[in-house]
Structure 1
Amino acid sequence: MSTHRLSGLVAATYTPFNDDGSLALSKVGPMVEHLIEAGNQGLYVCGSTGEGVSLTTAERCEVAEAYVQAAAGRVPVFVQVGHNSVEEAKHLAAHAQQIGADAVSATCPSYFKANDEKTLLKTIKSIASAAPSLPFYYYHIPVLTGSSINIVSFMQAAGDAIPNLFGLKYTDTKLHEFQQCLEIGGGRYDVVWGTDEMMLGALATGAKAGIGSTYNVIAPTYLKMLEAFNAHRMEEARALQMEAIGLIRILGRYPFHSAMKELLNLLGHDMGTCRLPQRGLTSDETEELRGMLQSVGCLGTLAINSTRDRS
């Protein structure tokens, strides 16, 4: 099992769809090239950004395999396998190991919830055990899973229960809690930040890597921010974080991932629209979005292409 810790940016990848809603896997390869050229140092597949919960198990296997093949060992590929069915999650984890993924990650089930730490440990251990040779990263995103388990207490207990537990994808806004996770066992775990608009604060708290959606479009902005932070140019780092916040605030006026897919389309990377229950943007919303994006400084060097109508 690899013990390499993450640094820099890991793009949470989008799943491409055709107009009829079917998978458009031919678009994965060009997207991976774009992400690597932009400076991303890893790919996180079938997470919230990739609509993993909106795909069938068979589709998730296809998407994971397409990203692993396109990456071709150049950057690590993490496959998110969380599912309301623990057996399906185990199947996805075993498949990720079989196709040569570099790590497995999983959310907790979100319909029937594990309401105590012991049950959550048993659940996650079962999933992680299906891919024993791969590092396992627990995916903490309580705003979507509704989990009320104390993540610090869980991680403190999980190390002895889950042999391949290697890290944590922390997608929340509690920097003090994130810092506690970083310091468990003297820095035992690879704890990765997952809230793009707070990346600078996470760096100040001790983060070395982030997994995020907006790295699909403005990775160079974040890389400049990392460089400025490491060189103690804090005013510059804050300005770059504000550029990212400006973009995120614009996208947040709409269904976020649908707006991100429209932005990718405007930039020449047509990934289709989101599946229900996420709605796509109307043609009027897309034109409005395009106009607002052109006023954002971090997009000033990117060519915005003409959009196609969607409703």
Structure 2
Amino acid sequence: MTLKLTGLVPATHTPFTDSGEVNLAVIETQAEHLLRDGIRAVFIAGTTGESHSLTLAERLAITERWLAVTRGTPMQVIVHVGGNSLGDAKTLAAHAQTTGAAAIAALAPSYFKPKSVADLLLWTTPIAAAAPAIPFYFYDIPPLTGVNLPMPDYLEQAAERIPNLAGVKFSNPDLLAYQRCLHLSGGRLDMPWGIDEYLLSALAVGGSGGVGSSYNFAAPLFHRLLAAFGQGDWATARAEQWKAAQWIETLIRFGYMPSARRIMERLGVPVGAPRLPFQSLSADQAKGLDAALEQLGVWSWR
């Protein structure tokens, strides 16, 4: 089963109220903002969506809301269903299929970790089987899960075990492994790139799009990067990638998650502060971030 996530796929924030509750009402504003920015697919309840800080009930409600507000629009919804509970992941997967998601994805459990590709297959196969009618992506992000297994080996074995396998959301800087994955099965599998500040590198070796957090607020910049790459204009593509890298590096310096959420607030999308263990920016930090972004000129980059 194939699906090609070409272009930009924002990994969306989960909106929270001032008291820390999920704010479902804001999801419509998120979708409208992204549609205006030329986005046609979203990846919900993943890392940027703070999935590990959400209850099962919250994740089910978030999926239902995204599918409701995007119904009748050109936007596809890919639901991240992974976590540390296999039962919860299967419930989320089946629910995503029932509610009309375009695909599901699941990262590896990060507390009791699979130690081998065989272990990972035992974990992901029943998740994919819970939503057999829609594509399944494994979400590889070793820096956060602590699971660093060879994705080419996983894909070769998963192709025989998971009929609805679509590919891997590749949030792993190993470009050699990425290239090997791209060339498996004659390029049939989909390999959306997951590190925004290296997007051009992935395109250069054969990638066709990415799933990332910064596409929530910097989509116009990345659209220009994609267009320049498609036209063979490497100078412009590199210049846009460098702008993106500086923007992302600045957010990391002040704390990426709360800083990215502050940018969304400034763009009129009130996603609120992150959940603990993330903390909101202090007044001084927010002032420093705003000054740094103004100095870079990021608002003109949009």
Superposition TM-score tier, normalisation by shorter sequence: over 0.9
Root-mean-square deviation over aligned CA pairs: 1.2
Amino acid at match of 2:211: I
Aligned equivalents of 1:291 and 1:267: distance in 2? 16
Structure 1 segments (4+ residues) deviating >6 Å:
none
Structure 1 pair 301–223 and aligned structure 2 pair: CA distance change class (3 A): closer
CA offsets per residue over residues 95-116 of structure 1, 9 Å max, x none? 1111111101000111001101
Cα contact 2:8–2:41 (8 A) shared by 1 = yes
Structure 1 spans left out of the alignment, 5+ residues: 303-311
Task: Tell me the distance in 1 between the aligned counterparts of 2:127 and 2:279.
Answer: 31
Which AA in structure 1 matches 2:64? E
* 1:138 alignment partner in structure 2: 138
Count of equivalent residues: 301
Which residue does 1:283 correspond to in 2? 283
Q: CA deviation at 1:301?
A: 5.8
Number of the residue aligned with 2:223: 223
Who is 2:214 aligned against? 214
Matched, 1:29 2:34: no
What does residue 85 of structure 1 align with?
85
State the percentage of identical aligned residues: 40
Aligned AA for 1:27? V
Q: State the match for 1:308 in structure 2.
A: none
CA contact (8 A) 2:3 2:135 kept: no
User: For the Cα contact (< 8 Å) 1:218–1:299, is it kept in 2?
Assistant: no
Q: Secondary structure at the match of 1:190?
A: coil
Separation of aligned partners in 2, 1:61 and 1:152: 32
Q: Which residue of 2 aligns with 1:19?
A: 18
- Would you say the 8 A contact 2:9–2:215 is kept in 1? yes
Q: Which aligned pairs between 1:166-181 and structure 2 lie closer than 5 A?
A: 166-181=166-181
Q: Partners in 2 of 1:255 and 1:246 — Cα distance?
A: 14
User: How far apart, CA to CA, are the structure 2 residues paired with 1:41 and 1:181?
Assistant: 25
Unaligned runs of 5+ in 2: none
Bigger shift: 71-80 or 228-237? 71-80
Structure 1 position 298, deviation (Å): 3.7
1:103 aligns with 2:90: no
Q: Give, in angstroms, the shift of residue 152 of structure 1.
A: 1.3
Instruction: Report the equivalent of 1:66.
Output: 65
Q: Distance in 2 between matches of 1:23 and 1:87?
A: 22
| Rounded Cα–Cα distance in structure 2 between residues aligned with 1:222 and 1:13 | 16
**Structure 2: distance between partners of 1:142 and 1:4:** 23
Amino acid across the alignment from 1:120: L
* 1:61 match: secondary structure: helix
Provide the C-alpha distance between the structure 2 equivalents of 1:289 and 1:267, rounded to a whole number of angstroms: 15
Structure 1 Cα separation of the partners of residues 279 and 200 of structure 2: 31
Residues in 2 aligned to 1:49 and 1:197: alpha-carbon distance in whole angstroms: 15
Q: Which residue is equivalent to 1:306?
A: none
Q: TM-score, normalised by structure 1?
A: 0.94
Matches within 5 A, 1:150-165: 150-165=150-165
Instruction: Tell me if 1:147 matches 2:150.
Output: no
Check the 8 A contact 2:150/2:177 in 1, yes or no: no
Shift, 1:155, TM fit: 1.0
What's the offset of the Cα at 1:174? 1.4
- Structure 1 residue aligned with 2:46: 47
Task: Trace 1:254-269 onto structure 2 (pairs within 5 A).
Answer: 254-269=254-269
Amino acid of the residue matched to residue 135 of structure 1? P
Q: RCO higher in 1 or 2 (8 Å CA, sep ≥ 6)?
A: 2
Determine the C-alpha separation between the residues in 2 that align with 1:90 and 1:76: 21
Q: Structure 1 residues 301 and 235, CA, compared in 2 at 3 Å: closer, same or farther?
A: closer
Give 1:279 deviation, angstroms: 1.4
Distance, in Å, in 1 between the alignment partners of 2:3 and 2:45 is: 22
The residue type equivalent to 2:181 in the other structure is C
Q: Work out the CA distance in 2 between the residues paired with 1:236 and 1:44.
A: 27
* Residue range with higher mean Cα deviation, 259-268 or 231-240: 259-268
